[in-house]
Structure 1
Amino acid sequence: MKEPLVPVVPMSHTAHIRSHRKPRRSAQTTMAMRAGVAGGVLGTLAVAGASASAVAAEPVTQTLELPALTADLSTQVAQSAEATQQAAANYQLQAERDAAAAKAAKEAKADLAEAKEKAEAKKKAAEEARKAAAERATRDAERATLTADSGTTTAAATTATTATASAAATASAPAGGSVATVVSFLKAQVGDAYVMGATGPNAWDCSSLVQAAFRQVGVDLPRVSQDQSTVGTDVSLSNLQVGDILYWGGKGSAYHTGVYIGDGQYLDAANPSKGVVIQDLSGYPASGAVRVL
């Protein structure tokens, strides 16, 4: 059986071209789209607010990245360090030079002061030597006078018996002997040196000076202090007279002698540092005294 034929309707010549008209939207579709847009905007705002809160809650830390050291920058740093070290070395060197200069100036000042002191000491020593020479010349003249005055007395005394160091018990004064002559001789020796064992004429020990003084008037005393303390007559220290022999230590074991010259003073060959001097008896009280004139 044959199929029935379907009539063919001819198409318009523009039927294959898509229409450019926008499809009509219904009222419901439009409202739905508007609601979606509003929701999206509100959601975006909410997310933005939350992000802003989160950012505000967290502290902001800024990180600075240091530039990497290049070869030129490394060279500059090394040169700067070397320059700083050199400057420090220069400062130290200058400080050392300043300290050395100050020390040299101080030493020069001290040397100058020492030189002045030495010059003054030499000048003083020369002056003292001059005075000593003048005094010695005066003493020599006095000795010459004493020798001439006592020539007769000493000539007569040369034949007298000499007392020994261990057996002289009493010393007698010859006729014409005087205390003044003894004291004058002693004062003429002031300034002479003290030398242990010396017997004059320019150096003495204590007992040799006493012995030489009394020999001027013909009294021959023992040589040593121990024996000199045993001669003559014992005298109280409260009744001393000019010319009395003073001794220090025990009678018969004295270690030093001198002669009382009046006014609380005595004359003796004291020691190597003093020599022959006049001293106050109050400064060095004697142990006892004997009288031979």
Structure 2
Amino acid sequence: MCIATSELYREEHEYMLKFLLVGDSDVGKDEIANFLGPSVSFTPNAFLILPKMTTILLEGKFVRLQLWDASGQGRFSTIIKSYSRGVQGILLVYDITNRWSFDGIRRWLTEIDEHAPGVPRILIGNRLHLEFNRAVPRREAEYFARKRNMQYFEISTLAYFNVHESITELARLVISRNGMHWLWKSFQVASLQDLCCRAIVKNILNVHAIDRLPIPSFLQLKVRSFASGADLCMSNVIKRECTTPYCNSASKYITRFVRSRNTKDHSRNANCDIM
């Protein structure tokens, strides 16, 4: 579940998705777009809006994302008329330290419902690293999103927290809602590497443990991509259990390693509490 780095960047991809970053000015939409890293490319157009291109891994598949940041372009009603064609996902962004930016989300939603009804969207509370200046309670934002059938993420580009996860979750939602996951999974026999990745995902407690696994970085990225879609239905995949000696031993080794690291971390935290 991560944005592909330059090491994994490819022009080839299974899907191309067009996302729109929406929100008041100075809520950090440009921070999110610029956070995507070295795999980002810039494509100027006549309207001087720069869509940012990057590639993510989702369940082992490369998905190309086109991110449009319409900051400073006037009313969203004008923007959505110009750029709603082909838009498949919308990220509604506000600043958790700015109450006015959160209240503005209602205005943006009104425009979205008028000009882009039915387009999947998620709500993002940006600048979580400024928690000490929070102006919008998390519970209020969660209730607001839940009432409108949106998922909610609080992120921080400065702390490298939840940015990749939120963007990947929107991609998963778009693909799932449009039925495209049936297309890529139909009559598919998973490779040995895919099976091993799924076996590892089943034996870890949370996605953050993947970064500590003693495996190459490109495999960590692939494992994370499977972790992001672990809740997707796999009934239309031709199922094969990971029964090879290599896969079994790898899964057992990974499980022992993660448990030992968790035990060490717990002991270290306990010692810190005593001190």
* TM-score between both structures, scaled by the size of structure 2: 0.21
The structure carrying a bigger strand percent of its residues is: 2
Greater RCO, 1 or 2 (C-alpha within 8 Å, sep 6+): 2
* Structure of greater Rg: 1
